[in-house]
Chain A
Amino acid sequence: QQPVQSPQAVILREGEDAVINCSSSKALYSVHWYRQKHGEAPVFLMILLKGGEQKGHEKISASFNEKKQQSSLYLTASQLSYSGTYFCGTELGIQGAQKLVFGQGTRLTINP
């Protein structure tokens, strides 16, 4: 039931792009993306509802492929502040389960 994130870790230089994937074996109602810095709480980035929409937040955007039950998070021209662990949280079911099941996380390190 837990979604699978890939890759588990990625190291980039400032200005490079990254893609983080989240896959589920169950039908998804929505996908959330969060970023957590070391020792801090997860911070909400965006939510995508079923319908295949793509949303954006500054240089961070995401897509949701309902048929494949996958979501991808795109970070373009990465900045040092993007470092942290990214989690996808999936809401299962046709009408939504009202709770999130989180993936195991993808650790992103941005070097100068």
Chain B
Amino acid sequence: DTGVSQDPRHKITKRGQNVTFRCDPISEHNRLYWYRQTLGQGPEFLTYFQNEAQLEKSRLLSDRFSAERPKGSFSTLEIQRTEQGDSAMYLCASSWAGGYTFGSGTRLTVV
């Protein structure tokens, strides 16, 4: 068990570019979550999967955000046409009907 892995750790992108983040959960965990966290705030829910099914997506999330979890294993989060307001730490977490194990996150900076 190597924990939850996220890649990349840091991403700097120009406004308007597309970015994609990857999350590898703990293999036995069937649930996978994406959260966004800005400085001084708690994690904000984005979306979650149970196995390969995306069960909920935050209404705050615009159509520029999309997530996938093919075959119920790793997940990707894509942000299209990035905006400066997208700058944040993107956290992935996995669980098996209990506490969440978070990854170290991907810090996105949009310039």
Contact = CB atoms under 8 A, between A and B. Distances in A.
A and B pair up: yes
Interface of A: 2, 32, 34, 40-44, 46-47, 87, 89, 98-105
DSSP majority for the B interface? strand
A87 B43 contact: yes
A89 B104 CA distance: 18
A41 B106 CA distance: 10
B46 to A, nearest CB: 10
Given A104-B42, A105-B41, A46 B99 contact: yes
A43 B50 contact: no
Contacts of B101: 44
Given A98-B31, A98-B55, A41 B102 contact: yes
Interface in B64-91: 91
Contacts of A89: 42-43, 100
